[in-house]
Structure 1
Amino acid sequence: MDIHQYYMIIYLMSYFGLIIGVRSIILFKQTRINASKGFGKQSKTKRAERIIQAALFLMIIIGLNYTFFEPNYKYFFPIKFLELGWLKTIGFTIGICGILITFIAQLQMKNSWRLGIDEQEKLELITSGLFSITRNPIYLSLGISFIGFFLIAPNIGSIIFLILMFYGIAQKVNDEQEFLAGKFGEEYEKYRSNVNKWI
């Protein structure tokens, strides 16, 4: 196993361990709320979340084959001119930085953070910290981390993963904006007029 395969292991463990696992545990310990309670259940976000789930499944398959089943990796059609050690190192750095920023943004959401829209729970509109710079710091930093994933394992499968993920995130952001506008009304509209959707 070479250093780049270790990059992949660390990336996947950080992604699923930190921003899904650890953050969900913190929320549950503080509130007894299951972070995934609303994920995939609300009709307005179900399609976007299914696309995101498919993309994550593809990411796991690519990562496992890249790391542990190297002979199979050729079936994802590696992009040879991007298979450069220094580019993989940049990808790993970008990926981990994106994951860390995502985790910080999740913590700044406090007890309002969820994996999906949960219409029954009492939520607070977060407008401070990273949310004062962009309305979607979690999704923005995730997108950056996914570009890092692609650079670690540049192949056609990873391009499909990026397309699915970016499309799913764009749909989910639109669904969440609609939900927040309905829940917080004028307060959200004021926030939306002062802070950009992305950057």
Structure 2
Amino acid sequence: MHFTGSDFWRFLPLVHAGVFGATAVAGRMLIARTNRHDAVSFSRGDSAHDFVARWFDQEWTRWIGVACMVVALIWVICAQATMGTAWRMGVDTRTRTELITTGPFALSRNPIYLGIRATILGQLLVVGTWPVLMIWVMSELLVQIQVRFEEEHMFRLHAQRYADYCSRVRRWI
């Protein structure tokens, strides 16, 4: 795979976010070790905030999260297999791809992103920490933006055929 200068600028923020997040979490955990408390969990008091936090500390919540992650993984693999050679990461204006409307794409216009959303939600339910909650919030925002970029591209690429597809199939499910 050959990276161009624009690829560098595209991936730099993602790499930075990963390093920054890992450093922030590792730093908090090291500080917590010296202070003898759990630095990355929700608190366990009696406030409204803590009432919500208790949902993330239930065994059944974690199992729902595991189920989300397993179903999402299978879903994404099926969606990527259905796309075949049309699969791209992001918007590729240099290559004309076919419009895929079968398999998971018959149920959702964005099944891979739907799988990503379900995966991160599952991770939040399993881990239940503030950092994972923030990752979930950020990923939701970024996925919503990216999907709109890709849908604009699909309208330019497939025009009326894509508009007809949008009228039959919802963005998510």
TM-score (norm 2): 0.73
Q: Which residue of 2 aligns with 1:146?
A: 120
Kindly report the root-mean-square deviation, in angstroms, between the aligned alpha carbons of the 2 structures.
3.3
Aligned pair count?
A: 154
Cα distance between partner residues in 2 of 1:122 and 1:87: 43
Deviation at 1:56, TM superposition (A): 7.2
Per-residue CA deviations over 1:13-50 (Å, capped at 9, x if unaligned) read: xxxxxxxxxxxxxxxxxxxxx5x979x74x9xx5xx87
| Structure 1 gap ranges (5+) | 1-33
Q: Give the letter aligned to residue 75 of structure 2.
A: I
Cα distance between partner residues in 2 of 1:171 and 1:99: 22
% same residue: 22
Q: Does 1:178 align with 2:152?
A: yes
Contact map agreement 1:95 1:145 (CA 8 A) in 2: yes
Q: Does 1:78 align with 2:42?
A: yes
Question: After the TM superposition, which residues 12-161 of structure 1 pair with which residues of structure 2 at under 5 Å, given as runs?
Answer: 41=7, 53=14, 57=18, 61=22, 74-78=38-42, 80=44, 81=54, 82-161=56-135
Q: Which structure has more RCO (C-alpha within 8 Å, separation ≥ 6)?
A: 1
Q: Which residue of 1 aligns with 2:50?
A: none
Q: Which residue of 1 aligns with 2:139?
A: 165
Instruction: Give 1 or 2 for the bigger CA radius of gyration.
Output: 2
Q: Secondary structure at the match of 1:185?
A: helix
Question: Residues 61 and 96 (structure 1 numbering): CA distance in 2 closer, same or farther, change over 3 Å?
Answer: farther
Q: Does 1:193 align with 2:167?
A: yes
Q: Give the letter aligned to residue 61 of structure 1.
A: A
Deviation at 1:79, TM superposition (A): 5.2
